[in-house]
Amino acid sequence: MLHAMQHTNNTKMNYYSLNKKSPNVSFQEAVVNGLAPDRGLYFPENITPLSKDFIDNIDNYTNQEIAYEAIKQFVGDEIPSDVLKQIISETLSFDFPVVPIEENVSTLELFHGPTMAFKDVGARFMARCLGYFNRDNNNKLTVLVATSGDTGGAVADGFLGVKGVDVVILYPSGKVSDIQEKQLTTLGRNITALEVDGVFDDCQDMVKTAFLDTDITPILTSANSINVARWLPQMFYFFFAYKQVYKQKKEVVFSVPSGNFGNICAGIMAQKLGLPIKHFVASTNINDTVPNYLINGVYEPKPSKATISNAMDVGNPSNFIRIQELFENNIEALKNAFSSFSFTDKQTRKAMKSIYQKSEYVADPHGAVGYLGSKEHQKMHPNDLCIFLETAHPVKFLDVVENTLNTQVAIPEQIKSVIDKEKSAFQISNYDGLKTFLNS
């Protein structure tokens, strides 16, 4: 028995629903349920900061060791520590470089994974957690996921071949790039793509409705950032970036291109764990629900509008409620730590050109929105080191990037492997179509 004890974290983390009408659950139940029965998002009961000594000596640790320290309290003893370390090692099999762009502005590249988007980390981590939880279970679990572009490809790749898990991806027809569509629709095996006649919010609503529908036969879970195992590992990036820049002795600010607000919410979690981040900037496209809320104090979701930064075309960001919880629903406290600005496609293209002319750096449209947020913050705080997140490789948005910059983007190996494959997707136009498909 003693031997087994050494391999656990000896603690349990419970998760509560932000709607406060469902019972608390374990990490495993939160991952498998995805959403609480009252439709609330799960949130950890407590957050214990890491030791100051660990943060002060962060460059003595590998990325894998940092990730383990950051996540272990949220997993608790439900995954043995040696297994958790193995999961982290397989999740983080690529680099996260911080690249200087101009004075006091750098970018954190999050696109070096298998599908060339930041979501590879969360998808790989979650897939491996579910694989572990399902190791002795012969029941099939269906992972249902809505995508505005990159989530679907990352989830498809992360879950490919995981035992006992079928993946069903809903994506809006004609609203994702060609390469993104190929990444969703060409893998086969346990991955199925449903092409929805609608926008991303329609896909997300169908997923949420399916969770509450007692007439659906398979057991469902979600791999959107509403799922704690997809959302929490995104904390890792902020630690990795800080490790690379903290010796510059500057105040560090992160500008995060924001759609569903999962990534920036994970950044705030990293800050709560003790990472000395001065401020967060949520940079959005014209889908400006959150910037408007900070201006007038009224949270008014609205239908999403299509832009060239399509992964952020979200009118009702799911994770914003988690951010409000982190600030105890105090808008003044939120405003002190967090700003949000909205930018048009015209401004985004102009920023892409400006970055390319100044530093020969090719930014994708989402990264360019992040850059604009950095510049907005620096109007008042010119000496802060702003790091904007480059969330996907420019090749994912080939037409926009090549037309805007008048340059050619080399096709990386990860993309060459899917580009010539045959698309396979089922068309659906409403919730009944999804329900029929799931029950078949």
Alpha carbons 381 and 278: distance in angstroms, whole number: 11
Residue 266 dihedral angles phi and psi, to the nearest 5°: -65, -35
Largest CA distance in the chain: 65
Amino acid (1-letter code) at residue 341: F
DSSP reduced 3-state for 262 = helix
Question: Three-state SS for 199?
Answer: coil
Long-range contact set of residues 288-293: C-beta below 8 Å, sequence gap at least 24 = 288/342, 289/315, 289/316, 289/317, 289/320, 290/258, 290/261, 290/317, 290/320, 290/340, 291/340, 291/341, 291/342, 293/340
DSSP states along 94-148? S---EEEEETTEEEEE---STTSBTHHHHHHHHHHHHHHHTTT--S-EEEEEE-S
Give CA–CA dist 298/283, Å, rounded. 19
Q: Give the strands of the sheet with 219-222, arranged side by side.
A: 219-222, 141-146, 165-172, 191-196, 426-428
Give me 330's structure tokens.
């105090």
In the numeric block, the tokens 């020969």 are attached to 360
d(CA 145, CA 203): 8
Q: Which residue from 151, 176, 153, 161 is spatially nearest to 127, judged by alpha carbons? A: 161
- Rounded CA-CA distance 107/160 in Å is 30
Catalytic residue IDs: 119
Instruction: Identify the burial level of 320 via C-beta atoms within 10 angstroms of its C-beta, where 0-12 means exposed, 13-18 middle and 19 or more buried.
Output: buried
Query: Nearest 5°: CA angle at 337, between 354 and 43?
Result: 110
Apex 33 CA angle, 38 and 424, nearest 5: 115
